[in-house]
Structure 1
Amino acid sequence: MIVGRGGVVPDVSAAVEAGPERSAYLEAVFTVGEWLGVRSDDPLVPVVVVEVGVVSSLRAPSGRIVVDTPWPEDRAARELVERIPAGTYEVEASWIEAPYEFMGEHFDGRECAAVRLRVRDEPVSAWEMALGADDEVERLVPGCEVGFETDTAMGSFADAASWQALTEPFKRFWEKCEQQPGVVHGRETESVRSGEFEKVADDAAQADLITFPAEEGTTTVWIGRTAGGQVATVAVAPHLSWMA
């Protein structure tokens, strides 16, 4: 049984369990040297994991986690049903390279392919789709994926109890852009890894938010569990659209 905001809901373990192909991809994308596939426009060019490293730490004093876009939305943030122990955790990212040529110039095709919140330093025994507290889980069937929606190509990990305070810099930025279109505005966030990620700290609550690149549309979040069933990691690893 799973407990969400609406109370106890039916067992949906079969619907959320990751299949063999997805499980293998979630393992491979965080392993340096692994081949994830090939470029769809050039099947002779492999997509290879070249780096897996720590982006930053994230404080989650409530043990409640949001994985969602930090931009203003007319809906509640997607808080995960799963709880983790209150604490400070590392956010790691995986980078791939898939070289290509464009208009006579050569590029390494480097980009962030996946991110994860490391909860326990233990091997993942099984992967499952992370449910949101407001998901209509009774409608889930095997093969159906749910997740957070974004049209800004940005997601984030954050402490749910401090979500409003942590997303204020994005709301203020949005308001400035609407009030003064065409003017370049800065964001009150900390730039991480040359701006590839952003961090917001709520020092009063000792809580953080960390953004990461995401695909537009629906992005599924995955939970990796230890052999004992505990949460080892919370991961986001969309299949890159240009990769076969």
Structure 2
Amino acid sequence: MAREVAARRHAIDQWYMVLLTAGGRPVQTIERWKSGLWRVYLFDDSGRRDHCIDLRPRPDGTLLVTRRHRFWYTAEHREFDDSAAQEMTTVSAEGEVTVKSRPAGSRGWSSIRRDNVLVEDSPIPAPDFGDWLPFTRLLTEQGHECAATLTLHDAPAPPPRPSHPNGVQTLFTPGAQVAAEGVGASVIDVRPAGTLYMPSGRLIVADPTSASTTEPLVAAVPPGDYPVSVSILRSLRYPEMGYVAAARLTITDEPVKAWEPALCPDDDPTLLASDESIGFGVDAGMGCFVDAVAQLDEMDEDRYLDALGSDFAAEVTVAATGANMVVFRTGLGDGGYPKWLGRTEDGRIACFVADMQLIPADA
């Protein structure tokens, strides 16, 4: 990605990665994760990552190495080959160090413990964006001699990625058979999930336990009553098992001609990495559709679970206004799930979809 995008992601605590090279070959990647966490990979002479280092921030503004995982490859080994000799060092929050080793070809680890923290005496300063020199100290452990300055280059732009839900052609096709992530061979069963009353036409897509603090989507629809349906994956091997693959709020039955992310006011799709999408977070194994003026009362997780019972989706009345929300289970449980809107040929909104990403794109 362009360095301007990476800098913006750094400023708002989003993931990005920097690749350091020498003589045209990779020597180190630096990944910035949320909450100030970092991950560094070092490469061997064959271009294989042979050393993974995790770091976390400390109150004094430095970074502490909390885990090192090293591989000793032979010429025959592939990257991260489990049969290679390995050593893993972890540091607990209390400073206790655990070292585990695995000889080449072994299936088990041997462990020893010791009290001293290997990196306490030389913590790494938490860098500002572009200041990668503190991380180059890790390269000297592999015998590299590092220059006093680094030159940054923008990465080539990735090819455009499909802007539509996974398996959009089959998500709501009853009887379609798919290979589902974490479920296996499955058949799709589409079920009605209720009717959502939308007095304002402004939709909130969220975990129901956090919907009262979630901004509505920017795209609005005419006020009215709109049907909700859920796509259920039924395992062919265990047909009694079912998982919600997607939920759809239908505005019109006209065909969808184009898909785009369903954005909240603060969403910025230009900050997305190539494998990311605009989504909503789930901590209670449930999602919901609800109108922005529903004036959500304080309802706990148990109430939503009681409303669902053994079903995949249910309508829940919002006591303060008499409005309703449609609650649905989310895939395999908690996580982050993309939300999309589909438009008709003339640009009107046809539907909103919450996608649990259980089936491959264009399945």
So what's the TM-score if we normalise by structure 2? 0.48
Per the alignment, residue 6 of structure 1 pairs with: none
Tell me how far apart the structure 1 counterparts of residues 223 and 235 of structure 2 sit (CA, whole Å): 38
Deviation of residue 40 (structure 1)? Answer: 5.9
Count of aligned pairs between the two proteins: 201
Residue by residue over 1:34-69, the C-alpha shift from the partner in whole angstroms, topping out at 9 and shown as x without a partner, is: 22225668xxx62221x2121111101011100001
Structure with the larger RCO, 1 or 2 (CA within 8 Å, 6+ apart)? 1
Q: Which residue of 2 aligns with 1:30?
A: 172
Match of 2:187 in 1: 48
Q: Which residue is equivalent to 1:147?
A: 279
Mapping for residues 101-112 of structure 1, pairs under 5 Å? 107-112=239-244
Q: Greater Rg, structure 1 or structure 2?
A: 2
Which residue among 315, 325, 349 is the counterpart of 1:199?
315
* Partner residue of 1:169 out of 294, 299, 306: 299
CA distance in 2, matches of 1:39, 1:189: 24
Quote the Cα distance in structure 1 between the aligned partners of 2:191 and 2:182: 27
Q: C-alpha offsets along residues 209-238 of structure 1, whole Å, 9 cap, x if unaligned?
A: 111111412111011111111111101122
Paired amino acid for 2:282: T
5+ residue gaps, structure 2:
1-159
CA contact (8 A) 1:99 1:108 kept: no
Two-structure CA RMSD over aligned residues (Å): 3.3
CA distance in 1, matches of 2:349, 2:161: 15
> How do 1:1-244 residues align onto structure 2 when only pairs under 5 Å count?
19=162, 22=164, 25-37=167-179, 46-49=185-188, 51-72=189-210, 76-100=213-237, 107-140=239-272, 143-165=275-297, 168-170=298-300, 187=303, 191=307, 194-202=310-318, 205=321, 207-214=323-330, 215-240=333-358
Asked whether the 8 Å contact 1:145–1:220 carries over to 2, the reply is yes
Which structure features the higher share of helix residues? 1
Letter in 2 for 1:37: A
TM-score by length of 1: 0.69
Contact 1:63 1:85 (C-alpha < 8 Å) held by counterparts: yes
1:141 and 1:122, CA in 2 relative to 1: closer, same or farther beyond 3 A? same
How big is the shift at 1:76?
3.0
Change (3 A) 1:199 1:132: same
Residue-by-residue CA offset, 1:96-145 (whole Å, 9 max, x unaligned): 21233xxxxx5543222211001111111111111112224452466531
Instruction: Give 5+ residue unaligned stretches, structure 1.
Output: 1-16, 101-105, 175-185
Report if the CA contact (8 A) 2:161-2:274 is conserved: no
